[in-house]
Amino acid sequence: MTATADGRPPLTVRAADPTQTTDVAALALLRYTWRVGERGESGDPAEFAAAFGTWWDENAHTHLAWLAERGGEPVGMAWLALIHRVPGPERFRRVSGNVQSVYVLATERGVGTGALLVEAVVAHARADELGYLTVHPSELSYPLYERAGFATSGGVLELGLAEPRRPAGYAAPRGQ
C-alpha cells in the first residue's frame, strides 16, 4: 500500500455489499456517528446496528451504498435510493434515484472524499441508465453537488409531512 503525499494510506471508494457483515457494520457505525455526534440524536449503538442491518437486508433492492475507506478503515459513505417510476409506452423501465446520506468523517473533509463518493453514485446511475438524480443537500454540501453537475431545477415541489428534529445551530438548506 502506497501512502499519499501527506503520509496517510490511500483513499478508496467501493460499492458496499449488504451480504458482508463488515460492510453493514461499517455503514451502521458511520450513520450512527453522524446522527449522534453531529445531529444530536441518541440511542444505543448495538441496538441501532442490529436495526440498521435488518433495514438494509429488507431494502437492499432499492438502496445501494458506497464506502470510502482509508487504509481499509471506513471514513465515509453515500447512498442511492432507487425509485421505480410508472412505465410509459416508449420506456417501460423508468428509474430515477435520490442521493442520500452522504457523510464523511470530519478528519476526511476537504480532501475530496465526498466528491469521490458522489462521483461513484453518479457513475452507477449513468451506467444503470437512470433518468435523473435528486438530492436534498445541506447548506454546507451545496458546492459539492454543484461541482458534480447538480443544479436547482425549480420543477420540484415538496410537502413536508413531519418536522425533522434539528439540533441547535442547524441551518436549513437554501430556499427553505
* Model confidence pLDDT, tens digit, residues 66-89: 999 999 999 999 999 999 999 999
Domain at 124, CATH number = 3.40.630.30
pTM for the model stands at 0.86
pLDDT in the model for residue 156: 79
Residue 120 lies in a domain: yes
Maximum pairwise Cα distance, the chain: 55
Residue 20 lies in a domain: yes
Residue 69 lies in a domain: yes
Ranges under pLDDT 70 in the chain: 1-5, 163-176
Residue 166 lies in a domain: no
Residue 2 lies in a domain: no
pLDDT in the model for residue 1: 47
Full residue range of the structural domain in which residue 91 is found: 11-147
Q: How far, in Å, are 22, 53, 117, 153 from residue 17 at the CA level?
A: 9, 12, 15, 32
Kind and range of the H or E run holding 122: helix 113-127
Cell of 130: 437512470
Domain count along the chain: 1
